[in-house]
Structure 1
Amino acid sequence: MTGERAARRPGRVLTALLCAVTAAGLYGCSDSGPPEPAPTPTPAPATPTPATTTPAPATTAPAPSGLSPFTGLPARSGPVLAVKIDNVVAARPHTGLGAADLVYVEQVEGGATRLLAVYSSRLPELVGPVRSARESDIELLGAFGRPVLAYSGAQSALNPLLSAAPLHPVTETTGPGAFRRSPDRAAPHNLYLRPERAVAAVREPENARDIGFRFGPAPKGGTPVASETVRYPAARYAFTWSASDRTWRVAMDGRAARATDTGALAPSTVVVQRVAVRSSAFHDVTGAVSPYTETVGSGTALVLRDGRAFEARWSRTSATSGTTFTTPGGERLAFAPGQVWVVLAPRN
């Protein structure tokens, strides 16, 4: 059955986002000049599935040494790289998204969405298309310590905040060798990141650390669910349970979502985290106010794992702390080991 628990809110028609960062303060990404030939991405190794791994039991403690705190699977303790990814129709299919440990969905101007993909366990050859950062990215990423953040640019008034934040910003200006333009896509949807070069451009990047997730057996109860739909003013996500590989197949705006290098997007756990989305002090070139997604505080969530939906509570006390997910009875709610998607959905 299909549940539609995400908030619906009137929104403006999605306007075209411009790509140049100018003195007038527009969002976008700067052009690095003529595109270079597009190499064929090397497929990332397939994500292990829960059926072939032995996760640690769910506890109140962080993941044991040797397991990723983002997926609960065996992984190196590598540097954390976050990449802001375009998500309009012209930007799809994405590249490198299947290799992410963790994917956040955030609302932007006009009710559209962008993705913030977090990498640590492995780095694909390419990720993209890459787009611009927003103010709420600073708060969201505070739980990761001082991660590398790769993005195309930002409004000029936002740049001082990004520079002062506990981040290692990597853009075409600060790390030009980490990016390339694809001749197969039209601007602004043609900027791609080379993750290895992005991490190498940063001195002493911080390794993965506990952000509040716990992994292990599913809690008791839950409701059998075949699919779940989350709606934004100008975007729609559907997550359909695939029993054969125990993942949730992602669809965006009615079409199955895939990555050019790894195929169908299929997280093991999907968290629909209901949050406050308010206006920020920034706006785009058309005058549309940029939303600010509040990820500090508390609220309700829906956790999808193992073909079931579990009602949950989330809590985050500060911008430097992780997010705790609990059952209605107050026990820590464990995720299924594997890739996690956190859909930051506006509250009713």
Structure 2
Amino acid sequence: MMNRRARGWLIAVAIAVAVALVAAMIWYVMQLSEPSPEQARDDTLPSESVLAVKIDNVAAARPQTGLDAAEAIYVTPVEGGLTRLLAIYTGELPDAIGPVRSARESDIELLAQYGYPTFAYSGAAPDVLTELADAPLVPASPSRSGGYYRETERESPHNLYVDPAALPSPDAPPEQTVLQRGDAPAGGIVAASHTTSYGNATFEFSWSAREGWVISMDGSPISTTEGDGLSAGTVIEQHVEISDQGPADATGNRAPTYRTVGTGDATVLRNGRRFDAQWSRPAPEAPTRFTTSDGTPLPMEQGQVWILLVPSS
């Protein structure tokens, strides 16, 4: 019969072995659940893929965060003669973007030319939410994605921001390059400045040989929370069909809806010159193309592109 001391020793050994096995199992499970550095998602989008973010643009929302990292910024009309921004990101992402605001029905058509992008927005009207669920994009609102947070130094609703690296990845890049780059054609008219008004929001663009088209809004230069002023290599005033058919806000103003499939007039600013132009986009999945009045392709300069959607005359 085994004596008491031997039994105690065996029990101690058994306990030690069990503890070691449990620790090994925990370590193994952690290795499976925690991605390696190679697997961990970084702050760069997959090649050619697109992240689009709807950004607030009223006075209480300025200065915004992350605008300087966008490849393109669309200025879109909203209620009361005001505007919002739809920022397009490719490649490396900023640490934060915002303030994020709600999506509109017209955003779906505009983004269809960008493949199957991730679209970050704060929410939308019920009918628009249904359309977003069926649209060729990855919806990334706070109810569907992580990465969102409130900035306590600003008042709601102008204080919602997102860490773009926490958003879901886009499903597919565009089939064709949307923002064509290249040399300017001959012609154009020398221009030192240009103004675009939406009623209660006015944008001014001033040409600088060193900085490009320096952007101001309502008489003040646009800057970001990172301390940078904004300038564009190319500015496009794109004339589109706009109607007040969307849901009404609290004051009774209806949300404008705009069409970006079709054809129309445009004004293109680049290299200190203004070009009278035409735009064409035959289908939602097709990229918008710009040409001079005689049909010569009108590509965009290097640097950020601003596209302002304004009513056709």
Superposed CA deviations along residues 69-96 of structure 1, whole A, max 9, x for unmatched, are: xxxxxx9724310000000000000100
Question: Mind listing any 5+ residue stretches in structure 2 that lack a counterpart?
Answer: 1-44
User: Which residue of structure 1 lines up, in the alignment, with residue 255 of structure 2?
Assistant: 290
1:238 and 2:194 matched: no
User: Which residue of structure 2 lines up, in the alignment, with residue 191 of structure 1?
Assistant: 160
2:84 to 106, 114, 117: 114
* One-letter identity of the residue aligned with 1:224: V
User: Which residue of structure 2 lines up, in the alignment, with residue 225 of structure 1?
Assistant: 191
1:256 and 2:226 matched: no
Superposed CA deviations along residues 220-273 of structure 1, whole A, max 9, x for unmatched, are: 11111111000012110001111123x111101111001112501111000111
- Which structure has the higher relative contact order (CA within 8 Å, separation 6+)? 1
Superposed CA deviations along residues 36-57 of structure 1, whole A, max 9, x for unmatched, are: xxxxxxxxxxxxxxxxxxxxxx
* One-letter identity of the residue aligned with 1:162: L
* One-letter identity of the residue aligned with 1:236: T
User: Which residue of structure 1 lines up, in the alignment, with residue 113 of structure 2?
Assistant: 143
User: Which residue of structure 2 lines up, in the alignment, with residue 207 of structure 1?
Assistant: 173
Residues 326 and 333 in structure 1, CA contact (< 8 A), matched pair in contact too: yes
Aligned partners of 1:338 and 1:291: how far apart in 2? Answer: 29
* One-letter identity of the residue aligned with 2:213: W
Secondary structure of the residue that 2:47 maps to in structure 1?
Answer: coil
Aligned partners of 2:271 and 2:246: how far apart in 1? Answer: 41
Secondary structure of the residue that 2:127 maps to in structure 1?
Answer: coil
Residues 141 and 147 in structure 1, CA contact (< 8 A), matched pair in contact too: yes
2:284 to 309, 319, 329: 319
Residues 20-59 of structure 1 aligned to structure 2 (within 5 Å): none
Aligned partners of 2:208 and 2:228: how far apart in 1? Answer: 15
Secondary structure of the residue that 2:84 maps to in structure 1?
Answer: strand
Q: Under a length normalisation based on structure 1, what TM-score does the superposition of the two structures give?
A: 0.74
Structure possessing the higher radius of gyration over alpha carbons: 2
* One-letter identity of the residue aligned with 1:333: L
Offset, 1:281: 4.1
Question: Mind listing any 5+ residue stretches in structure 1 that lack a counterpart?
Answer: 1-74
Offset, 1:209: 4.7
Offset, 1:279: 2.1
Aligned partners of 2:60 and 2:227: how far apart in 1? Answer: 19
1:86 and 2:56 matched: yes
User: Which residue of structure 2 lines up, in the alignment, with residue 54 of structure 1?
Assistant: none
Give the aligned CA root-mean-square deviation in angstroms.
1.6
Identity %, equivalent residues: 46
Superposed CA deviations along residues 18-74 of structure 1, whole A, max 9, x for unmatched, are: xxxxxxxxxxxxxxxxxxxxxxxxxxxxxxxxxxxxxxxxxxxxxxxxxxxxxxxxx
Offset, 1:211: 4.4
1:337 and 2:302 matched: yes
